[in-house]
Amino acid sequence: MSEYIRLKEANCKNCYKCIRHCPAKSISFSGNQAHIVSDECVLCGQCFIVCPQNAKIIRDDSDKAKMLLSGNGPVFASIAPSFAAAFPGIGIAGMESALKKLGFFAVEETAIGATIVKKQYENLIEQGEQDIIISSCCPTVNLMIQKHFTEVLPYLAKVVSPMQAHCRDIKNRYPDAKTVFIGPCISKKYEADEFSGEVDCVLTFDELSNWLRAEKIETAPQLDRIEKSRTRIFPTAGGILKSMERKSEEYSYLSVDGHENCINTLRDISAGKISKCFVEMSACIGSCIGGPVTSKTRHNPVRDFIAVEKYSGIRDFDVKMPSADRLSRIFESLEQLQKYPNEIQLNEILMKMGKKTPADELNCGSCGYNSCREKAIAVFQGKADLTMCTPFLRDKAETFSNNILKNSPNGIIVLNDVLEVQQINPAALKMLNIRNASDIVGDNVVRILDPGVFMQVRKTGRSVRDNRVYLAEYKRYIEQTVILDKTYRMLLCIMRDVTDEENERQKKEAISRQTIEITDKVVEKQMRVVQEIASLLGETTAETKVALTKLKESLKDE
């Protein structure tokens, strides 16, 4: 069903809200993205409604409708009776006027088809052959039964929807006509594709509104109230029953709307808890006036109901009833067999999720599933992954963080915006000669450290890194790093004890100074010796020179 609801991947933000609200849990999660599981999707549109990032996009068939208008043959618009809520105060004449400007040949109310369908329901009840009769007007309910409650299929009324009945009626009267259904429903697009020979295109009210806006066509109020229009009430909760002649006293008549109520009712029917009953079933809360497209853009349940009720008459449209065969529809099972884990496999997955005991199974629903076990089954089926468990991730992060704090050789202190100690690890306690964390947590940091650097970082927003400080009170040298977390206005102080390193450095410096001093003395002494030797050598040389000169002169005289 992903062809009807498309995902805008860039907008999907790991919120799991679509999974949480999907009644069929037909959304898988992988690669940090939600993916619609087509084989299980019932096209309720809840994922589209609740998505906070507008990551779901409904298939737009406006271009298809425009192509039909540009072709041969008349194009009829079959407009769902919920238009009275979507376009308040306009009326069918006003809608016809606007749609004809777009190029439609004619506009008729789908409520005409609803009259045909409800009369067929009355016939089924009168025949009394079917123990339980579930209305088949809502394609989402039909898909829910076909895919997830196949044991209830025998109770689904084998009757076409008002959309199909009306479009068949139009094409019976105008054999070369094309039909475009306009309504508040996404699943009608699927139903039309299944019966493409009867319904040529489906537009949502949003698509129609955008089209009219683009063409600068305004819908003018032309409200009509006619007596023969009882099935205009169809799109409200209980609307089918209100339009029916409930003559049989053998049957109970029940109206159910909303996904949760529908599923609970289907479970009761499956369990054999209901009998001899006609069930009007609508997937949307409030029925079609609460359709997914309407609910996404504007949804005023009370005003919408009043608008539709006031527009409805008290008698039926004049219709020519087709034969029962022409109204019959077969619903086939669309169930996909699922693999389920055995107890050992289930427990293994739960262990990986950090659910070691039943007490660990919080069933908080943050992952989108109703229980931890349901989520574990989804993991087994490849529809979910372990990281979707928020408590598990939180506990994992806290444990990891605590292990770092506990085992780090560096002192770590966390302060709040007013410089109160929020956390302090064992290494910092040892450095600062504090016995227990409770002795300082909650107190101002001034009790243990000079607050100047913290005030500076808080004021400027600039971190101080590897600042070497001597803590005279503790007789320790530390390298201090102070970082401001601007999001949470918290200060993180990391202290590396460099006392031994500093002492060693000072010792080396002292040795170096001593060595230099000794060297200087040795050099000085050696220079004196050299000078003395040089002086002695100089005198001896001079005396020798004088003696040799005299000897030379004596030899010459001889």
| Per-residue model confidence (pLDDT) at position 392 | 74
Q: What six digits make up the tokens of 243?
A: 């339009």
Range with the lowest mean pLDDT among 146-155, 268-277, 541-550?
541-550
The CATH number of 338-398 is 1.10.15
The answer to whether 479 touches 496, Cβ cutoff 8 Å, is yes
- What does the DSSP assignment read for 298-331? ---HHHHHHHHHHH--SB-----PPPHHHHB-PP
CATH 3.40.50.10860 assigned to domain 408-497? The reply is no
With a cut of 60, say whether residue 113 has pLDDT above it. yes
pLDDT band of 316, cuts 50, 70, 90: very high
| Per-residue model confidence (pLDDT) at position 400 | 76
User: Which amino acid belongs to residue 35?
Assistant: H
| Per-residue model confidence (pLDDT) at position 428 | 94
The residue whose two tokens read 């007007």 is: 137
The pLDDT tens digits for 25-50 are 999 887 778 889 999 999 999 999 99
The pLDDT tens digits for 287-302 are 999 999 875 566 788 9
- Residue 470 main-chain phi, psi, to 5 deg: -100, 120
Report d(CA 478, CA 483) in Å as an integer.
Answer: 16
The pLDDT tens digits for 221-261 are 887 889 999 999 999 999 999 999 998 999 999 999 999 99
* Bridge partners for 281 per DSSP: 256
Measured between its terminal Cα atoms, the distance across the chain in Å is 139
466: left (phi over 0), alpha (psi -120 to 50) or beta: left
Percent of the chain whose pLDDT exceeds 90: 64
* Bridge partners for 481 per DSSP: 494
Q: Do 408-497 and 338-398 fall under one CATH topology? A: no
* Bridge partners for 257 per DSSP: 282
Q: What six digits make up the tokens of 141?
A: 């309910």
The residue whose two tokens read 């089918």 is: 240
Range with the lowest mean pLDDT among 14-18, 105-109, 196-200, 278-282?
14-18
With a cut of 70, say whether residue 1 has pLDDT above it. no
Report d(CA 206, CA 431) in Å as an integer.
Answer: 67
Residue 536: in which H helix or E strand, if any?
A: helix 499-557
91: left (phi over 0), alpha (psi -120 to 50) or beta: left
DSSP 121: H
Domain boundaries along the sequence of the chain: 60-327, 338-398, 408-497, 506-547
Q: How many CB atoms lie within 10 A of CB 344?
A: 7
The answer to whether 284 touches 258, Cβ cutoff 8 Å, is yes
The residue whose two tokens read 């000072």 is: 506
Query: HSE on the CB side for 122, CA within 13 Å?
Result: 15
Closest CA to 250 of 130, 413, 363, 421: 130
pLDDT band of 12, cuts 50, 70, 90: confident
The pLDDT tens digits for 46-73 are 999 998 888 889 999 999 999 999 998 9
| Per-residue model confidence (pLDDT) at position 538 | 67
| Per-residue model confidence (pLDDT) at position 92 | 94
Q: What six digits make up the tokens of 486?
A: 């601007």
- What does the DSSP assignment read for 63-102? HHHHHHHHSSS-EEEEE-TTHHHHSTT-HHHHHHHHHHHH
With a cut of 90, say whether residue 393 has pLDDT above it. no
Report d(CA 62, CA 68) in Å as an integer.
Answer: 10
- Residue 551 main-chain phi, psi, to 5 deg: -65, -40
The residue whose two tokens read 């006031």 is: 310
Chain mean pLDDT for the chain: 89
More confident residue, 426 or 508: 426
DSSP 437: G
Report d(CA 339, CA 266) in Å as an integer.
Answer: 22
Residue 478: in which H helix or E strand, if any?
A: strand 476-485
The pairing of beta strand 75-79 with beta strand 106-109 = parallel
Q: Is the dihedral of CA 168, 170, 174, 176 positive or negative?
A: negative
For 17-70, the three-class secondary structure string (H helix, E strand, C coil) is HHHHHCCCCCEEEECCEEEECCCCCCCCCHHHHHCCCCCEEECCCHHHHHHHHH
- Residue 252 main-chain phi, psi, to 5 deg: -90, 155
Report d(CA 346, CA 482) in Å as an integer.
Answer: 46
With a cut of 60, say whether residue 558 has pLDDT above it. no
177 by Cβ neighbours in 10 Å (0-12 / 13-18 / 19+) ranks as: middle
| Per-residue model confidence (pLDDT) at position 542 | 66
Report d(CA 243, CA 246) in Å as an integer.
Answer: 9
315 contacts: CB under 8 Å, gap ≥ 6: 227, 228, 229, 230
